[in-house]
Amino acid sequence: MARFQTVKEAGEQRVRFFVDHPVGFRGRNRKDDVQLIQFLLNFSNSTPVGYFFRALSAPLTVDGNCGPETLGAILAYQKRVNQRHGFRLMTADGTVRATQQAMLTDPIGIATIWTLNQDFWFGLQYQAQEEDVCLQPLISIVIQPLLAVGIRDASRVAL
């Protein structure tokens, strides 16, 4: 099940996202996992500090369907991150590995979910600074759509 967790890091509250099943060309493409990846790709596409800023001509529909647009966006994201780094930071195969599986078996494959998390965090910080608002309330506002589609808040649940 896709989920997010708020954690304290260096005195700041952060949000971490997890997918339990692969999403993409070689994925199980469970609806909740796909919805989370679609949400994160859209967020990265909309923030000037993200790897994927304005890479999509239109936002992905967050419907849990891993169709051609979502598959293409995952692959484009992976290629763009590698290109911006100048080396192969992640496997560019159109698949976002499940968080636990990737950590154990494919340290390069985890980079997709890691960089999507990083884009989200930097994007939130940028947005808070631009709007001159506190980060904590902004986190609550931004993750509301995830709660609306059933993505679980695992902050109070031991993983």
Residue predicted with more confidence, 70 or 156: 70
Instruction: Extract the tokens encoding 153.
Output: 């808040």
| Residue 8 near residue 15, CB atoms below 8 Å | no
The CB-side HSE value for 20 (13 A sphere, CA atoms) comes to: 11
With H, G, I as helix, E, B as strand and everything else as coil, classify residue 50.
coil
pLDDT at 159: 37
User: Taking 90 as the threshold, does the pLDDT of residue 146 lie above it?
Assistant: no
Which DSSP helix (H) or strand (E) runs through 15? strand 12-18
Asked whether the predicted pLDDT for residue 34 surpasses 80, the reply is yes
Q: Give the pLDDT score at 102.
A: 57
What is the distance between the terminal CA atoms of the chain, rounded to a whole angstrom? 12
pLDDT digits (tens, 9 = 90+) for 57-79: 999 999 999 999 999 999 999 99
- pLDDT value of residue 69: 97
Q: What length does the chain have?
A: 159
| Pairing assessment for the beta strands 152-153 and 3-9 based on DSSP bridges | parallel
H helix intervals, the chain: 31-46, 68-85, 99-105, 111-131, 135-148
Residue with tokens 């966006």: 73
CA separation for the pair 73, 58 (Å, rounded): 11
Report the pLDDT value the prediction gives residue 55, as an integer from 0 to 100: 94
Q: What is the pTM of this model?
A: 0.89
In percent, how much of the chain has pLDDT > 70?
91
d(CA 70, CA 94): 9
Residue ranges per structural domain of the chain:
3-153
